[in-house]
Amino acid sequence: MKNLRAVAASIAVIVLLAAVLAACNSNKGNSESSPSASSAPSASTESSPSASAPAEAIDPLGKYDPPIEVTVIRPYDENVKFAEGESANDNLWTRRYEEKLGIKIKYNWTLQGPIDQYYQKLNVAIASNDLADIMTVNSSQLKQLVEAGQLADLTETYDKYASDFMKKVFADDGGTAISSATFGDKLLALPRIGSDIDEVPLLWVRTDWLKKLNLPEPKTMADVLAISEAFTTKDPDGNNKADTFGLGLTKDLNGGFAGFEGFLNGYHAYYNTWLKDASGQLVNSNIQPEMKAALADLQKIYSGKQIDKEFGTKDGGKVAEAVTSGKLGMYYGAMWTPVWPIQDGRNLDPNMEWKPFALPSIDGQPAKGQVPFTVSQYYVVKKDAKNPEAAIKLLNYWFDHNYVQPYQTPESKYDGIETFKYLILSGSPITENLDVYRKAKPLIEANDIEGMKTAREGQIKEIAKYLEGDQKSWGYYKILGPDGSYTVIEQLMQENRIQRSEFFGAPTPTMGEKGSTLDTLLKETFTKIIMGAAPIDEFDKFVENWKKLGGDQITKEVNDWAASRK
């Protein structure tokens, strides 16, 4: 029962974090906006400029007059709840679309349930060409629709109708997301973009242990290795027992808490991504020589009892218990880990202090933190849609309503309801949480508690609680405050130390067929190497097997994809 309660508590905290960091601004979508649309040009004015007159400026939020009808196919989250008297067809957002944009939403169909069920049903609709004007698809379905010539070319439409803010959002990741929706110089979809920088691994260290052992803060991988050894052998918790670990690692190897990505990145090695080699060809990061060097040092750390000898059977929840019980001094993890699991540890021991660091490097070259490609869904418009620009206007409206000029009149009817899940098109800037940090920073520096309490962002309100003495809000302070997560993430961005994959297309045929086999091979081999059950030279055999079992074919397909985009 105790373990079940611990797991349940961990899940609850993660859900809270997701709600606050990624969607705490759901109340942003709970207020009616009232910008004047009386001066907005009509759709006919926008689409039919006089051949002899200068082209009239297009309003990205211009209202259709008379209104238009747009058909939609979309999934609904299993946990979506509607306010009393509302439904998918009639809710806060469908009314806003009609009132503010003159767009009436008509659903061909929706599906509320597991996303795989939605995709299966959509596959049937695609095969029978039973399409709606706007649809939510995955990357494989996007590729299928593109190859079948079933999608509208949005290139010129995007240039004309996308707001400046939308264009900035899609430029901030270096254009990767929008490029993933571009085929042969044609923009054929709008990516559902999110914040990939939130997933960059940081090095988290117990700084109270550093002070106790008189150790410097880590600047190089040599420092990391020395700290790991000291945290294991020099009794940092002062109980005269050899019961502490220098580095945390989960059985899954990768992940936002106690994954090995950040450690690998310190050796310029990367997990499960695609890089350009010196000739410009794309190569898989898992089989590069830098990976072998990183694994060799992980093996040494494990042999020195600095990693829990049973890590191969422990998931993130189990490793988190070492944090909360004060037995772990260092791990690599995402920005949100102060909320879970560190907060649980500080609730038990208020003297526990943790701090994030930019990734130390094995040599003089700065280490880059890898981030995943976060786009898993796309919004597409069928080829014969009468108003393809309507999709762009719908997304413009979300960005404007939620980020550009957010409206703050509350509606109690929607308290506690995640109305942002009603949206037809949505997304968030990659800097969404970084922007909250930038807003919080001057308030913290000025000790403006009242300014924090009245801030629109729930995270900033949590910081006010901490500064007034609520230690249970420390986690949010450690994310957004001085020496917190976003202080480091901003540094990584300024120094161009974010590593994105060079491949961001739909899974290739061999990826679909052999991907799980290769992933299992990797994790089994790497775990054996780390635990000393296999020599480090086993990595060379892994590379040979990876290539034979489909890796070479996948590499060819990835490079064919890259060549097709030139």
User: Where residue 57 falls among pLDDT bands split at 50, 70, 90?
Assistant: confident
Per residue in 185-232, pLDDT tens?
A: 999 999 999 999 999 999 999 999 999 999 999 999 999 999 999 999
Structural domains counted in the chain: 3
Highest mean pLDDT among 2-6, 12-16, 36-40, 489-493: 489-493
- Residue 55: give the domain boundaries: 2-194+375-422
Does this model's pTM top 0.95? no
Which run of H or E residues covers position 380?
strand 377-381
Sign of torsion, CA 487 492 496 501?
Answer: negative
What local confidence, expressed as pLDDT, does residue 23 receive?
40
What local confidence, expressed as pLDDT, does residue 413 receive?
80
In a domain, 459, yes or no: yes
Residues 41 and 137 in one domain: yes
In a domain, 495, yes or no: no
User: Where residue 182 falls among pLDDT bands split at 50, 70, 90?
Assistant: very high
User: Where residue 51 falls among pLDDT bands split at 50, 70, 90?
Assistant: very low
Mean predicted confidence (pLDDT) in 68-81? 95
- The chain-wide mean pLDDT, for the chain, equals 90
What does 63-129 look like in DSSP terms, one character per residue? Answer: PPSS-EEEEEEEEE-TT--PPTT--SSSSHHHHHIIIII-EEEEEEEEEES-HHHHHHHHHHHHHTT
Residues 404 and 446 in one domain: no
Sign of torsion, CA 397 402 407 409?
Answer: positive
Instruction: Give bridge partners of residue 332 from the DSSP assignment.
Output: 203
Identify whether the C-beta of residue 256 lies closer than 8 Å to the C-beta of residue 336: yes
pLDDT at 46 over 60: no
Mean predicted confidence (pLDDT) in 481-506? 96
Q: In angstroms, rounded to a whole number, what is the distance separating the alpha carbons of residues 32 and 364?
A: 53
Residues 38 and 177 in one domain: yes
Identify which of 70, 67, 69 has the alpha carbon closest to the alpha carbon of residue 132: 70
Block residue for tokens 């957010």: 406
What local confidence, expressed as pLDDT, does residue 37 receive?
32
Residues 228 and 286 in one domain: yes
Mean predicted confidence (pLDDT) in 438-447? 98
Instruction: Give bridge partners of residue 110 from the DSSP assignment.
Output: 74
Residue type, 286: N
Q: In angstroms, rounded to a whole number, what is the distance separating the alpha carbons of residues 112 and 421?
A: 11
Per residue in 92-105, pLDDT tens?
A: 999 999 999 999 99
Q: What tokens appear for 71 in the block?
A: 């058909």
What local confidence, expressed as pLDDT, does residue 409 receive?
53
In a domain, 539, yes or no: yes
Residues 6+ apart with CB under 8 A from 306: 228, 229, 231, 232, 245, 246, 247
Residues 181 and 95 in one domain: yes
pLDDT at 405 over 50: yes
pLDDT at 3 over 50: no
Mean predicted confidence (pLDDT) in 257-277? 98
Residues 205 and 274 in one domain: yes
User: Where residue 547 falls among pLDDT bands split at 50, 70, 90?
Assistant: very high
In the chain, what is the straight-line distance between the N-terminal and C-terminal CA atoms, in Å? 57
- Percent of all residues in the chain with a pLDDT value above 90, rounded to a whole number: 85
CATH number of the domain bearing residue 185: 3.40.190.10
In a domain, 512, yes or no: yes
What local confidence, expressed as pLDDT, does residue 7 receive?
37
Residues 417 and 552 in one domain: no
Residues 440 and 475 in one domain: yes
Identify which of 543, 551, 196 has the alpha carbon closest to the alpha carbon of residue 370: 196
> Number of H helices and number of E strands within the chain?
23, 14
**Degrees (nearest 5) of the Cα angle 264, 532, 334?**
30
Mean predicted confidence (pLDDT) in 107-121? 96
Between 418 and 241, the more confident residue is 241
User: Where residue 414 falls among pLDDT bands split at 50, 70, 90?
Assistant: confident
pLDDT at 318 over 50: yes
In a domain, 491, yes or no: no
Distance of CA 274 to the CA centre of its chain: 18
Residues 333 and 239 in one domain: yes
pLDDT at 35 over 50: no
In a domain, 427, yes or no: no
Last residue of a domain, one of 461, 485, 509: 485
What local confidence, expressed as pLDDT, does residue 255 receive?
96
Residues 49 and 184 in one domain: yes
User: Where residue 26 falls among pLDDT bands split at 50, 70, 90?
Assistant: very low
Q: What tokens appear for 321 in the block?
A: 């218990």
pLDDT at 249 over 50: yes
What local confidence, expressed as pLDDT, does residue 408 receive?
56
Residues 6 and 53 in one domain: yes
What local confidence, expressed as pLDDT, does residue 259 receive?
98
pLDDT at 21 over 60: no
In a domain, 476, yes or no: yes
Residue type, 207: T
User: How many CB atoms are closer than 10 A to CB 509?
Assistant: 11
Distance of CA 401 to the CA centre of its chain: 22
Identify whether the C-beta of residue 513 lies closer than 8 Å to the C-beta of residue 522: no
Identify whether the C-beta of residue 514 lies closer than 8 Å to the C-beta of residue 550: yes
User: Where residue 438 falls among pLDDT bands split at 50, 70, 90?
Assistant: very high
Residues 148 and 252 in one domain: no
What local confidence, expressed as pLDDT, does residue 406 receive?
77
Mean predicted confidence (pLDDT) in 131-156? 97
In a domain, 447, yes or no: yes
Mean predicted confidence (pLDDT) in 466-478? 98
Identify whether the C-beta of residue 44 lies closer than 8 Å to the C-beta of residue 375: no
Mean predicted confidence (pLDDT) in 303-311? 98
